[in-house]
Chains A and B, each alone.
Chain A
Amino acid sequence: MTDALRLEGLSREFPVGKRLFGKPKGIVHAVRPVDLSVEAGETLGIVGESGCGKSTLARMLVGLLPPTTGRIEIEGKPLDTADPAAFGKRIQYVFQDPISSLNPRKTIRQVMEAPLKRLHGMDRAARERRIAEIFDSVNLREEFLDRYPHEFSGGQAQRIGIARALAAQARILILDEPVSALDVSVQAQVLNLLADLKRELGLTYLFISHDLAVVEAVSTRVAVLYFGSVVEVGRAEDIFRAPKHPYTKLLADSAPVVGRPLSAPEGRETELPDPLNPPPGCPFAPRCPRATEACTGAMPALEPQTGHRVACIHPLG
Chain B
Amino acid sequence: MKTVRLIFRNRLAAAGLVVLGIVVLLAILTPILPLADPDVTNTANRFRPVFAEGHLLGTDHLGRDLLSRLLWGTRLSLAVGFAAAVFAAVIGAGFGIVSGYFGGATDNVIMRGIDMLMAFPYILLALAIVAALGPGLFNALIAVAVVNIPFFARNIRGVTVGIAHKEFVDAARLAGLSHTRIILSEILPNVIPVIVIAMSTTIGWMILETAGLSFLGLGSQPPQADLGSMLGEARGALITNPLTSIVPGVMILVIVMSINLLGDGVRDALDPRLRSGALTRPRAATVVDRRAPVPAPRAEGVLTMTDLETQFHVGARVYRAVNKVSLHVAPGECLGVIGESGSGKSVTALSVMGLVASPPGVITGGSVRFRDAELIGATYGRLRELRGDRVAYIFQDPLATLHPLYRVGDQLVEAIRVHHRIPRAEAWDRAVALLKQVRIPNPESRAQSYPHEMSGGMRQRVGIAMALANDPDVIIADEPTTALDVTVQAQILSLLDDLRRERGLAIVFITHDFGVVAQLCDRVAVMYAGRIVEEGPTRAVLDAPAHPYTRRLIACVPELGAGRRRLEAIPGLPPAVDRLEPGCAFAPRCLKTEAVCVTREIGLAQAGNRAVRCLFPETDLKREAAE
Binding site for B on A (CB under 8 A): 20, 49-50, 59, 62-64, 84-85, 87-89, 92-93, 95-97, 100-106, 111, 114-115, 118-119, 153, 155, 161, 164, 168, 183-189, 191-192, 195, 210-214, 216-220, 236-237, 240-241, 250-266, 268-269, 271-272
Contact = CB atoms under 8 A, between A and B. Distances in A.
Contact of A50 (B341, B456, B458): B456
Nearest to A185: B570
B573 A186 contact: yes
Q: Interface centre among A118, A153, A184, A192, by most B CB within 10 Å?
A: A184
Interface string B326-356: 0000000000000011000000000000000
Interface in B505-547: 512-516, 518-520, 542
Contact of A118 (B175, B341, B518, B560): B175
Contacts of A62: 174
A272 B493 CA distance: 18
Interface in B441-461: 441, 455-458
9 nearest A-B residue pairs (beta carbon): A256-B515, A118-B176, A188-B569, A188-B556, A49-B485, A115-B175, A101-B167, A217-B558, A188-B567
B138 to A, nearest CB: 36
6 contacts: A189-B571, A216-B560, A218-B564, A257-B518, A264-B491, A271-B458
Contact of A262 (B485, B494, B558, B573): B494
Interface string B162-189: 0000111011111111100100011001
Tell me which of B176, B486, B571 has the highest count of chain A C-beta atoms within 10 A of its own C-beta: B176
A276 to B, nearest CB: 13
Contacts of A164: 171, 175
A34 B515 CA distance: 33
A263 B490 contact: yes
B253 interface: no
A262 B7 CA distance: 56
Contacts of B569: 185, 188-189, 191-192
Contacts of B167: 95-97, 100-101
Contact of B567 (A85, A100, A217, A263): A217
A95 B519 contact: no
Contact of A269 (B441, B560, B566, B574): B441
B515 A268 contact: no
B560 A105 contact: no
Nearest to A121: B176
B170 A258 contact: no
Interface of B: 108, 166-168, 170-178, 181, 185-186, 189-190, 340-341, 439-441, 455-458, 485-491, 493-495, 497, 512-516, 518-520, 542, 552-553, 556-571, 573-574
Contacts of A184: 340, 512, 553, 556-557
Contacts of A214: 558
Nearest to B169: A103
Contacts of A254: 486-487, 489-490
B248 to A, nearest CB: 43
Given A50-B485, A210-B485, A241-B561, A64 B170 contact: yes
B520 A240 contact: no
Contacts, number: 208
A87 B558 CA distance: 32
A103 B488 CA distance: 34
Nearest to B567: A188
A268 to B, nearest CB: 4
Contact of B486 (A153, A183, A255): A255
Nearest to B190: A105
A155 to B, nearest CB: 7
A264 B490 contact: yes
B564 A268 contact: no
B53 to A, nearest CB: 59
Contact of A250 (B340, B441, B487, B568): B487
A114 B563 contact: no
A217 B173 CA distance: 31
Contacts of B556: 184-185, 187-188
A20 B135 CA distance: 40
A259 B518 contact: yes
Contacts of A185: 340, 552-553, 556, 569-570, 574
A104 B190 contact: yes
Contacts of A87: 174
A100 B559 CA distance: 29
A221 to B, nearest CB: 11
B566 to A, nearest CB: 6
A257 B514 CA distance: 8
Contacts of B177: 85, 114, 118
Nearest to A191: B567
A214 B559 CA distance: 8
A62 B568 CA distance: 32
Contacts of A259: 518
A218 B566 CA distance: 8
Given A103-B168, A118-B176, A212 B570 contact: no
B173 A64 contact: yes
Contacts of B485: 49-50, 210
A309 B332 CA distance: 46
A210 B486 CA distance: 8
Contacts of A183: 340-341, 512
Contact of A92 (B174, B494, B515, B519): B174
A97 B186 CA distance: 17
A87 B516 CA distance: 40
B493 A101 contact: no
Given A184-B553, A188-B556, A260-B519, A88 B175 contact: yes
Contacts of B185: 106
A88 B176 contact: yes
B439 A237 contact: no
Contacts of B563: 216-217, 236-237
Contacts of B560: 212-213, 216, 240, 252, 255, 257
Contacts of B518: 256-260
B8 to A, nearest CB: 24
A111 B168 CA distance: 9
A114 B341 CA distance: 32
B495 A268 contact: yes
A217 B176 contact: no
A195 B518 CA distance: 29
A241 B516 CA distance: 20
Contacts of A260: 518-519
A93 B171 contact: yes
Contacts of B170: 59, 64, 84, 93, 95, 101
A36 to B, nearest CB: 20
B519 A256 contact: yes
Contact of A219 (B190, B458, B493, B564): B564
A51 to B, nearest CB: 9
A313 B561 CA distance: 26
A258 B559 contact: yes
Contact of A188 (B168, B494, B570): B570
A111 B189 CA distance: 14
A261 B519 CA distance: 6
Contacts of A256: 486, 489-490, 493, 513, 515-516, 518-519
- A211, A220, A237, A254 — most chain B CB neighbours (10 Å): A254
B193 to A, nearest CB: 10
Nearest to A120: B176
